[in-house]
Structure 1
Amino acid sequence: MEPGDLRLSTATTSAAPASRRGRRRGGLLPALGPVLGILPFLLYVAVFLLLPVGVLAVEAFRAVDPVTFEESWSTANIGTVTGGAYARSYVGSLELSAITAVLGAVLGLALAFAVVTTRRGRLLRRLVLTASGVLANFGGVPLAFAFLATIGNAGVVTAVLTGPLGLDGFRLASLTGLALVYLYFLIPLMVLTIVPAVEALRPQWREASDVLGASGWQYWRYVGGPVLAPPVLGATMLLFASAFAAYATARALVGSSVPLVTLQIADALSSNVVVGAENLGKALALGMVVLVGLVMAFYTWVQRRTSRWLT
């Protein structure tokens, strides 16, 4: 072997590790790219979700003596929130959330079908979706004031009905009245959530079922229903969680006349009931977190089953 061949062989073997080292250096940043991109989201979740839940989980098991203000570890708060007026507030919130979620899902689904299936309804679809996006985020004190000024005890519509028509006024500060107000923003939320699923029902499926001689009931029983049921159920769970966690509208509308757990939490944190009952409010909030977590876990499971039908 000549010296030139040896030099060529040596240069080739030494260049190979250098190229591999270069590839390693160049591949480090692309490997860390996804981690760096998701880091702000992880920090946001840790600070605004995990940390508050952790504080609730700790403070819910601490009791404060109303006389000496000494703190101690205790499960008395958990036992208190599971009985008496606090248990009734949980029942009231669950009842209100279930009623409004089911009604909002049914009415929102009907409106979504009307918008999607309307011929030459592109402009109508844009108007309905735009209005739904606005109304779904309209709540709190302004919404309560709007209903009080319209159908409250001294509202415009109430005055018209109790005057010439001789009808009794509608009592807005009740569970039924609060459910009506909640539907104002839950129905648009249902429309926004379910329209993509309704649009995913392909016309070819209905045409194929008609060609095969299936009736409308059979189509919805074996084709349309199984495809649409998971997203409808998931959207209903989303409405339930939204109604269960609502506070400002109920506070401005009914005060403490309707037993709701969110109102009980506000009273406990402000010590309007018992001095030093802040940890009791945190125990109530921890119960809400557990219930909403179960609902959202079920919602996530339903969405996973839905994804294979909508892809």
Structure 2
Amino acid sequence: MTAVLTEAEVATAAAPRQRRRRASGALAVLPLLAFTAIAFGIPALAMLNGAFTVKDQTTGATSYSTTNLTASLHGAYLTALVGSVELSAVSAAIGTVLGLLFAQAVVTSRFRVLREAVLTASGVLANFGGVPLAFAFVATLGNSGVLTRRLGLTDKGWSLYSFWGLVIVYLYFLIPLMVLTITPALDGLRVQWREAAQNNGATTVQYWRHVALPVLLPSLLGGFVLLFGSAFAAYATAAAMVGSAVPLVTLQIADAISGNVLVGQENVALALSLDMVLVAGLVMAVYLPLQRRSTRWLA
């Protein structure tokens, strides 16, 4: 005679197996957690400790205070922080829009070779920065650059060593990064949604306004956050190209550490780094709740 198990008995029998799976899963994650704690936790604690530590230059005594944080939010430091936020926001916004347009053109293209070529090139260009990128733009659009002389851009008021010049340079690697980020989300848009919109009399603009963009909005914000962070943390390109012509927080941190401004400002540099972390955290706080919605729709 065959015994029939109830749902409660099946659940009771499966409970030990599920607990073993959770335990094995937790053990598998331990190496990653340990690496994260060492690679990110220790530097973060050191940054926090240094940001709140004040050293007396006369006696060498140290104490905890908010003096460094206060200094990082005044004068040239505040100007640099605001300048970095403005530059990163403008560059990320333009890069998000242009990257979306390029990615959509690639996704809808009938030529698979073109898609693969664009994505491969985007992967290379997204990681091309620093001094080589600055040199390339100086040789092309600098005061004596090839295009500057041929097009007479200097007479028209063009200057690469300015806010908008730096935006153009940043877009060189931000747009490819956005193409790589948003392409999977565009692939997740279902053909049935467009067909249903067309069957209900919706135009292409209405489809994008009421269907595609609301679904893509979290992914677009995620791409914006990624671009914002890349531009916000960029240092070598700006240092090699504009120097102190454009106030940026990364350049101020480098000056404070090296003592180019005042001796003993290393902890102010750590306070500026903490300010950068807080700005990035605020941007991520906006993005994370919307990411869950995007995952549900595009799954």
Query: Structure 1 length normalisation: TM-score?
Result: 0.85
Structure 1 Cα separation of the partners of residues 257 and 289 of structure 2: 34
Structure 2 Cα separation of the partners of residues 166 and 264 of structure 1: 29
Aligned equivalent of 1:9: none
Q: 1:208-262 CA distances to partner (integer Å, 9 max, x unpaired)? A: 1211222333322322221122211221121111111111111111111111011
Structure 2 Cα separation of the partners of residues 145 and 185 of structure 1: 14
Aligned equivalent of 2:293: 305
Letter in 2 for 1:126: E
Flag the structure with larger Rg.
Answer: 1
Structure 2 Cα separation of the partners of residues 212 and 274 of structure 1: 67
Alignment of 1:230-241 (within 5 A): 230-241=218-229
Aligned equivalent of 2:255: 267
RMSD over aligned Cα, in angstroms? 2.1
Q: 1:145-170 CA distances to partner (integer Å, 9 max, x unpaired)? A: 111111112222223223xx984473
The answer to whether residue 233 in structure 2 is matched with residue 245 in structure 1 is yes
Q: 1:240-293 CA distances to partner (integer Å, 9 max, x unpaired)? A: 111111111111111111110111111111121111111010000011011112
Structure 1 Cα separation of the partners of residues 276 and 207 of structure 2: 40
Counterpart selection for 2:30 from 35, 39, 45:
39
Structure 1 Cα separation of the partners of residues 205 and 19 of structure 2: 58
SS in 1 for 2:280: helix
Runs of 4+ in 1 over 4 A off after TM superposition: 26-32, 165-169
SS in 2 for 1:154: coil
The answer to whether residue 70 in structure 2 is matched with residue 79 in structure 1 is yes
SS in 1 for 2:158: coil
Aligned equivalent of 1:149: 139
Structure 2 Cα separation of the partners of residues 218 and 159 of structure 1: 45
Percent sequence identity is: 56
The answer to whether residue 159 in structure 2 is matched with residue 138 in structure 1 is no
Q: Give the CA deviation at 1:30.
A: 6.1
Aligned equivalent of 1:106: 97
Aligned equivalent of 1:64: 55
After TM superposition, the structure 1 stretch with the greater mean CA deviation from structure 2, 65-74 or 136-145, is 65-74
Letter in 2 for 1:277: Q
Letter in 1 for 2:160: L
SS in 1 for 2:262: coil
The answer to whether residue 210 in structure 2 is matched with residue 222 in structure 1 is yes
Aligned equivalent of 2:191: 203
Structure 2 regions of 5+ residues with no counterpart? 1-15
Structure 2 Cα separation of the partners of residues 267 and 130 of structure 1: 37
Aligned equivalent of 1:176: 164
Describe the shift of the 1:137–1:73 C-alpha distance in structure 2 as closer, same or farther (beyond 3 A): same
Q: How many residue pairs end up in the alignment? A: 284
Paired residues of 2:68 and 2:268 also in contact (CA < 8 A): yes
Paired residues of 1:267 and 1:273 also in contact (CA < 8 A): yes
Describe the shift of the 1:177–1:44 C-alpha distance in structure 2 as closer, same or farther (beyond 3 A): same
Q: 1:62-83 CA distances to partner (integer Å, 9 max, x unpaired)? A: 1122333332222111111111
Paired residues of 1:64 and 1:277 also in contact (CA < 8 A): no
Letter in 2 for 1:265: I
Letter in 2 for 1:147: F
Q: Give the CA deviation at 1:27.
A: 10
After TM superposition, the structure 1 stretch with the greater mean CA deviation from structure 2, 200-209 or 188-197, is 200-209
Structure 2 Cα separation of the partners of residues 297 and 44 of structure 1: 24
SS in 1 for 2:245: coil
Q: 1:24-74 CA distances to partner (integer Å, 9 max, x unpaired)? A: 9x9998665323322221122111212111111111111122333332222
Structure 1 Cα separation of the partners of residues 231 and 123 of structure 2: 17
The answer to whether residue 108 in structure 2 is matched with residue 117 in structure 1 is yes
The answer to whether residue 279 in structure 2 is matched with residue 288 in structure 1 is no
Query: Structure 2 length normalisation: TM-score?
Result: 0.89
Paired residues of 1:59 and 1:282 also in contact (CA < 8 A): yes
